[in-house]
Amino acid sequence: MAQVKYTQKDIYDRVFKQKRMGVGYDPEDVDDFLDGIISDYGVFTKRIKELQDQVGQLQNALQEAQNELAGGQAAPQEPVQAAAPVEPTPAPAKEEAPTNLDLIKRVANLERAVFGTDHEA
């Protein structure tokens, strides 16, 4: 399983540089968006933990059932391995998060709408 790059605290503590006055994104808007991501991240982490606990319980129940079927032998014939961490499934194509290119295009369209087509950065 791939390592998690950012924790909720990493996202919360991140401070973005400002290049010059009046250029860039609204810090409050970025903060609000990141707050939503932090919240989602917490929900996903909790759900993964719940699923891993459920897998452990099911493995224990399976082991008990296998022992009963084997005639109540003291040692199981084949030990059950611990569950691998749950890999997140990719979202369907129509619900995918916007890519960096999509965001750049949206920003360019907003700049054209605000500054006009003859504005140069």
pTM above 0.85, yes or no: no
Domain boundaries, the chain: 8-86
- Measured CA to CA, the distance from residue 45 to residue 121 in angstroms comes to 41
Q: What is the pLDDT of residues 66-115, one digit of tens each?
A: 998 988 655 555 555 666 665 655 554 455 677 777 778 888 777 777 77
Phi, psi of 23 (to 5 degrees): -115, 135
C-alpha angle 109/115/121, rounded to 5°?
A: 85
Cα 51 to the center of its chain, rounded Å = 15
